Amino acid sequence: MILACAEQVSRRYGEVLALDRVDLTVRAGELVGLLGPNGAGKSTLMNLLVGLRRPTAGRVELLGGDPRDPASRRQLGVTPQETGLPGTLRVGEVVDFVSAHYPDPVPRGELLDRFGLTDQVRRQTGGLSGGQRRRLAVALAFVGRPRLVLLDEPTTGLDVEARHALWESIRGFHAEGGTVLLSSHYLEEVEALAQRVVVIGHGRVLADDSVAAIRGIVGVRRVSLVADDLPALPGVVATERVDGRFQLLTTDADQLVRDLVATGVTFRDLEVRPTSLEEAFLAITAGDRPAPTPA
């Protein structure tokens, strides 16, 4: 059963095409990661799916209806990227306020316990640490026992321990049958939680596949060196020459370096480093673009 979908959705903000003919389907019971660099269009897609904005073109559906219709959002839980909590209200009061909107909310104690906020129940939200505030914002998405939860970069600003605790809560919800769409910059986070990853870059869906398949793509390394010329080498996904340095992208840097040495070509100043997510995807998607002319 499909709980959320976007079909050929585009969204324009003036001159900026934030989403370009995006297709996405989230089925009941899935935990889907939306992965992409800054400005890729993740938040825009989430905002369309929850009815905060309208697509410029294409169609979005949420829980069988139009997301802009409040009835479609009754079984939805959301944590947007930025949340404002009333600073003078206590944590317990905020939870009670949100709970009051639902017929069968998760009991306050249980919710706070699940999100590690039990000791903060009497604290004013204005006095919480950034991480505690974020945990509360995420917890509120779960109050109404939603069928589907959309979390926009839920662990931003959390330290490692808090991040892992939050992952546990999200996993717990999913294990009980809940459906989750969560966005992240971090492959590590998506890997820890999701089975399926949708990669977005420059407003387009670049990949929609299993975590393992995406891992393979993002495992690209950048081997860079200075040389007068280089022969063609196996396993190179993309080659660039910038300021006299060759930049080779490959999924097996060790083998590439062995092959390079075997060619006998003279080179110096060898560097091997991981590519950023953005670089990796640019490289993959630039596959059919001609390499830049040597400087």
Ligand X SMILES: Nc1ncnc2c1ncn2[C@@H]1O[C@H](COP(=O)(O)OP(=O)(O)OP(=O)(O)O)[C@@H](O)[C@H]1O
Length of the chain: 295
What are the helix (H) ranges across 141-276?
A: 160-175, 187-193, 211-218, 253-263
Pick between residue 133 and residue 221 the one whose CB is nearest to ligand X.
133
Q: How far is the CB of 61 from ligand X (least distance, A)?
A: 19
Instruction: Give the shortest CB-104-to-ligand X separation in angstroms.
Output: 32
CB of 123 to ligand X, least distance (A): 28
Return d(Cα 25, Cα 81) in angstroms, integer.
21
By C-beta, is 193 or 225 nearer to ligand X? 193
Cβ closest to ligand X, residue 48 vs residue 128: 48
> Cβ 191 to ligand X, closest distance in Å?
18
147, 28 contact by CB (below 8 A): yes
Nearest to ligand X of 43, 75 (CB atom):
43
**Smallest separation, CB 70 to ligand X (Å):** 22
Smallest gap from residue 157 Cβ to ligand X (A): 13
Contacts with 172 (C-beta within 8 Å, 6 or more apart), sequence order: 114
Task: Say if residues 148 and 3 touch (Cβ distance below 8 Å).
Answer: yes
User: Judged by CB, which is closer to ligand X: 20, or 209?
Assistant: 20
Q: Which of 52/272 has CB closer to ligand X?
A: 52
Of 31, 291, 261, the closest CA to residue 148 belongs to: 31
Which burial class, exposed, middle or buried, applies to 15 when counting CB atoms under 10 A from its CB (0-12, 13-18, 19+)? Answer: exposed
Do the beta carbons of residue 79 and residue 140 sit within 8 Å? yes
- Stated as kind and residue range, the H or E segment containing 111 is helix 108-114
Dihedral angle, C-alpha 65, 70, 74, 78, nearest 10 °: 100
- Which 3-state string (H, E, C) describes 127-141? HCCHHHHHHHHHHHC
Distance CA 184, CA 35 (A): 5
Q: How far is the CB of 281 from ligand X (least distance, A)?
A: 12
Of residues 38 and 266, the one with the C-beta less far from ligand X: 38
d(CA 244, CA 248): 13
Which residue's CB is nearer to ligand X, number 56 or number 224? 56
**CA distances in angstroms from 177 to 27, 30, 111, 132, 200, listed in the order given:** 11, 9, 17, 26, 26
Least separation in angstroms between CB 201 and ligand X: 9
Provide the binding-site residues for ligand X, judged by CB under 6 A. 13, 16, 18, 36, 38-44, 81, 185
